Structure 1
């Protein structure tokens, strides 16, 4: 239970520190850059996911066609 209390206290201190940092011009610039990097990363992750999903769907379709041809023989 003590660890949970320290964990919660750490989160609270981090939130307060981030809020104070965001009040400065440098802090706003830092968080804007961080936000842009996170958006770039999540966009790349999403694009990769959808690309792989399309590859797998195509492979399943090809396998399905092969099964249908084999079943017709």
Structure 2
């Protein structure tokens, strides 16, 4: 139970800190860049998954 409480408090503090950082110009720039990199990564994962799925379908 203590671990769950610590996890919840840590998550809440992380959100508060991210909100504060996002209020600055440098923070917004950081989160914009992070968002862009995460979108590129997720797009690459989806492309790889679809490619592998098509490859497996062709060989079946």
TM-score where L is the length of structure 2: 0.96
Say whether 1:37 aligns with 2:37: yes
- Give RMSD over aligned pairs: 0.5
Higher relative contact order (CA 8 A, sep 6+): 2
Counterparts of 2:33 and 2:56, CA distance in 1: 35
Task: Give the number of equivalent residue pairs.
Answer: 60
TM-score where L is the length of structure 1: 0.80
Look up the match of 2:11.
Answer: 11
Counterparts of 1:49 and 1:3, CA distance in 2: 35
> Which ranges in structure 1 are unaligned for 5 or more consecutive residues?
61-73
> Which ranges in structure 2 are unaligned for 5 or more consecutive residues?
none
Larger Rg: 1
